[in-house]
Amino acid sequence: MANYELYYWSNIQGRGEFVRLALEDAGADYVDVGRGPRGDDAVARGMKGGLGGTRPFGPPYLRHGKIVVAQTANVLAYLGPRLGLVPKGEPARLAAHQHQLTIADFVVEIHDTHHPEGPTLYYEDQKPSSRRRAAAFLAARLPLFMGYFEDVLEENGGRHIIGRSVSYVDLSLYQIALGLGYAFPRAFGRYQKKIPRLMALRDRIAERPGIAAYLASERRIPFNEDDLFRHYPELDK
Ligand SMILES: N[C@@H](CCC(=O)N[C@@H](CS)C(=O)NCC(=O)O)C(=O)O
């Protein structure tokens, strides 16, 4: 049996991708349960309980022996020390968790560019408000979050967000930078010259052996319009 079981939807990168990247970078022994024979049913069933541990509200969640842990940032806080993806010591671990929670906030705002009226309506049923929301996101919120992380990176010497080695936060910022480039090629293409350190970080992470192998494999789900990062040209002004 694999050491780690990741439970996440099989057809999207979504929030699960932040966990997949950590597991893949570390070469961890894991199964992506939703993408296996038991499929998304197993992911849904786990949320009804029965896996042991604390019942998750939503995916991604991880099972490791008797532990079941949910909430992306919490999953990564659990995995970080075990996978060597966070520096030792409480200050660094708190810093990593803090940054990951900020990323979780940012993820909600990214999602809300195409679902400003919530997840119960299709994008097609909330297009006018999506245009307004995406315009405000691109003008004010994207620069606020990415500018913050650019500053943190610079203050820490430019190569890593925390400490002197790659952490799960660096991997998550890689995914954010890549996803924004997919969703908003025009607007993010214009903006990215203001965050040179984050863009260099993105390029360095892509070359890490575990990540490069993952990106070249069928395990990496392509970006798509059922996902968190969606490319709708009408929102990319
Ligand atoms: N804050 C949680 C959010 C979890 C979440 O919203 N998961 C989504 C999939 S990405 C889901 O299916 N939630 C169930 C729902 O909202 O109906 C995290 O970061 O893990």
128-186 pLDDT, tens digit each = 999 999 999 999 999 999 999 999 999 999 999 999 999 999 999 999 999 999 999 99
Averaged pLDDT for residues 57-77: 97
Residue 194 has pLDDT above 80, yes or no: yes
Query: Up-side HSE of residue 61: CA atoms within 13 Å toward CB?
Result: 23
The answer to whether residue 4 scores a pLDDT higher than 80 is yes
Burial (CB < 10 A; 0-12, 13-18, 19+), residue 31, is middle
Could you tell me if the CB of 63 is within 6 A of ligand 1?
no
Percent of the chain with pLDDT over 90: 97
Task: Report which protein residue has its CA nearest ligand 1's atom 6.
Answer: 58
**Ligand 1 atom closest to the CA of 73, numbered from 1:** 19
Confidence of residue 200 (pLDDT cuts 50, 70, 90): very high
The pLDDT, as a whole number, for residue 233 is: 98
Angle in degrees, CA 223, 225, 229, rounded to 5: 60
Is the predicted pLDDT of residue 219 greater than 80, yes or no?
yes
Cα–Cα distance for residue pair 39/159, rounded to 1 Å: 38
pLDDT value of residue 53: 83
175 CB under 6 A from ligand 1?
A: no
Which residues are CB-neighbours of 21 under 8 A, at least 6 positions away? 168, 171, 172, 174, 175, 211, 214
